[in-house]
Amino acid sequence: MASECCLNLAEKAFSEKQFEESATKFSLIIDNQNGHGEPNTDAYIKRCQCYYNLKQYEKALKDAEYFSDTDVDSLIGHLWKGKCYSKLTQYNEAYTSLRKGLELEPTNAEVADELRLLQDSIMAMYEADERKSENTYNAVDLCTQDPYPGDEELEELEREIMIKWKLDQHPNVKAGDCDLDKAADELTSAIEAKELGQLALALNHANMSASCSPGNKFIMEERADILFLLGEFKEGFRSCNIIPFEHRSASLWTTGGKILDALELPVIAETWLRMATQLAKDAKSEAPLIFQQVRVKRLYAPLADKTNATVTFSQYGRAVMSKESVTKGDVIMVDKPVVCAQTLDSQNIPACGHCASSLVRPGDIMGMAYQSNNQLKKMVQKYWPKTTIVSCRHCKKEIYCSVTCQEEAWERYHCLICPEINHSVKKLYKVCDELKNLRPGDSRVWKGWWNAAFSPFMLARIWASIACNARKLGEENGRIKPSLTDWTKAKAPFRRFIAYGAQSNADAVPKMFDLMVEIFKDLGDGLSYNITKREFDGRYYQATCNVQAFSDLRNPLKRFLENIKDKPNTRGIMQLLPHNPPEAEFAGLFALHACLNHSCVNNAEVFDGIVDNKPGVAVRAKRDVQEGEEVFITYINTNMLRSKRRAWLYRAYNFWCYCDRCNFEGEGSHECTQCKKTAEIRKPFPTCSKCKRAWYCSSKCQKVAWKKGHKKICSLSHSQTEYSSDSTVISGK
């Protein structure tokens, strides 16, 4: 009776918002119950709410945890856990708890509201992070200077060329009498002449100086720099190389590196620039940047050889530039996937598992009903493109468009991950079969198996490709097991893809991680690939940072429509065909496309394309692009407002966008885009009538913003475009 009275008092205090008093009373009830039968879990959740209102979030969380541990299927426990975690800025935990709540009751408005608040808190945290991290992004720091596999052999070749060009010989400087004063005067004159652009005269003075003080490293370095500017690279290098190794300064190594690059000896140029980087303590040293420029020219520019693009190293790291001026709609570049896998969502639509060609049949998109319409049936029989479907000889699970694809897939990766050969892979097929039937937001995805839009087969194929390649390289060199060098070389094609991720994904999907470990631990004949958490995370983040969705631009339905378009009486048939037929979609990693940077005011867009007669991607100009201009695509839905776009980009790609839109667009009508003044409640600021993406408190602010840069973005279209009916815009990464 006493406890019932206490409960009433606790409830009364709660309803009157006397949270301290209410918490004390609920504590009495809880203490009183301890050791006396079933605890009153309601008292815990009520006390949790009291503590929450009193801003004692740690205590509130303990009560919410107790409640949800006791009553696992109750939404309220997860909701309050989520709220407490949010306040404690443990956002991942908050998200997991709220997701669990949503799994129990997908339409619960309170949980949905809390998730929205969580998103706002995360964005506010990101904004605060941005203020802390402003200007700390440095593309050079993100790229390593590690030697590339195979560099040793290339270096050997370059050394032979150097000997042939006599680069190892003494520079052409006449030795005179040692006269340090004259040497200093001549050196000063050389520097002055160089600064005036009188390079021939500068060289004369440098030569005089060098002959008065043979082997002086400052004089030889200055001489080398003048020769570099004159384009006399071989003699310039000799001037650097004469200085003994231990006396070379960072700037001398840099000059030597630049000269070697100009002589097209990039591997040794990298060695010189690496030395310069190691010696230069000065943050302003140009060596690390030049190193990356040399590396990009050597390893990435060839990817763009047959395109209208080239790859360079910009402030954002590797970047694609337009080689020529192009007009809106022109194709700037095309690319084919290094690796791809069909998305789980579209797995029911037949497609070649290797090259992504659609193998869709009339029944897959029209059902069997089309057979009852005689005219349609006849047209289909006559004009539907003939496709052959070849399956894997062993598992029959993978299908291909040709024997060539079947054999290539087998040779490159499938031989190690065919479920009939590697039995653990059966489990991966089973899991993917289950995952493909998930509806968006379905809970099973969060149960340790998978959490990405691309299929886990993409990762399996990367590891299998590497292992196959390592085995092949080992065999070619007569080794039973691949050596470390074979493995390093085999991994090289995937080194191109940048990886960024904030938390361990192996921990987020532990069951998938365990399964991948199992699949690759014994690949037969003593071959194995040790999938560590680091390896798993690295590949996973390579995929998320670079993946691109694509599908077959010339799928059978499109070819059928093409075939019948000039035939008489086909209008009725056209009407019977589905408007949005399901398509087989693939996710792929593309080496050149992965060098494209993001801008919210992108000048190019990614479309489905055909490369070497197979599905791939094409990048087209969204507006006229000038020669030498960087080609930007967009990674996200650019219809979002500024802060959302930026938070997305930071979370998924680790950078704050400073494009013109991010610099000159506003956050909403509550804030003046120019002076940041806050609007009064129910008196929003008017929007820019043209673009509706900026808000101003006065016409003065509007004029100032226009001058500062708003005019750059105001008239540009930011929405994604469709150029023609046979090109679909891909929804981004």
Ligand X SMILES: C[S@@+](CC[C@H](N)C(=O)[O-])C[C@H]1O[C@@H](n2cnc3c(N)ncnc32)[C@H](O)[C@@H]1O
Q: Which residues bind ligand X (CB under 6 A)?
A: 316-318, 498, 500, 545-546, 594-599, 653-655, 657
46 or 598, CB closer to ligand X?
Answer: 598
135 or 381, CB closer to ligand X?
Answer: 135
Structure letter (DSSP) for residue 595? G
How many CB atoms lie under 10 A from the CB of residue 325? 14
Q: Which helix (H) or strand (E) holds 589?
A: strand 585-590
What b-and-e string marks burial along 352-365, b requiring 16 or more CB atoms within 10 Å of the CB? bbbbbbbbbbbebb
Indicate the SS3 state at residue 358: strand
Nearest distance from C-beta of residue 123 to ligand X, angstroms: 18
145 or 443, CB closer to ligand X?
Answer: 145
Q: Which helix (H) or strand (E) holds 51?
A: helix 41-53
C-alpha to C-alpha distance for 611 and 552, rounded to whole angstroms: 11
422 or 603, CB closer to ligand X?
Answer: 603
Of 551, 531, 546, 533, nearest to 494 (Cα)?
546
Cα maximum dimension of the chain: 114
Q: Look-up: residue for tokens 């094409």?
A: 618
292 or 347, CB closer to ligand X?
Answer: 292
Indicate the SS3 state at residue 34: coil
Nearest distance from C-beta of residue 205 to ligand X, angstroms: 42
Of 248, 168, 139, nearest to 500 (Cα)?
139
Nearest distance from C-beta of residue 651 to ligand X, angstroms: 11
Both structure tokens of 367: 């059902």
315 or 437, CB closer to ligand X?
Answer: 315
Secondary structure of 279-332 in HEC code, one letter for each residue? HCCCCCCCHHHHHHHHHHHHHCHHHHCCCCEEEEEECCEEEEEECCCECCCCEE
Nearest distance from C-beta of residue 253 to ligand X, angstroms: 24
Q: Contact at 8 Å (CB) between 86 and 111?
A: no
Of 255, 312, 297, nearest to 279 (Cα)?
255
C-alpha to C-alpha distance for 400 and 354, rounded to whole angstroms: 7
Residue nearest to ligand X according to CB distances in the complex: 317
332 or 594, CB closer to ligand X?
Answer: 594
| 335 strand-pairing partners | 617
110 or 660, CB closer to ligand X?
Answer: 660
Q: How far is CA 254 from the centre of its chain?
A: 31
Nearest distance from C-beta of residue 733 to ligand X, angstroms: 8
Nearest distance from C-beta of residue 317 to ligand X, angstroms: 3
227 or 304, CB closer to ligand X?
Answer: 304
Nearest distance from C-beta of residue 607 to ligand X, angstroms: 17
Q: Contact at 8 Å (CB) between 364 and 596?
A: no
26 or 655, CB closer to ligand X?
Answer: 655
Nearest distance from C-beta of residue 45 to ligand X, angstroms: 42
Nearest distance from C-beta of residue 654 to ligand X, angstroms: 5
| 227 strand-pairing partners | none
500 or 692, CB closer to ligand X?
Answer: 500
Nearest distance from C-beta of residue 500 to ligand X, angstroms: 5
Nearest distance from C-beta of residue 365 to ligand X, angstroms: 33
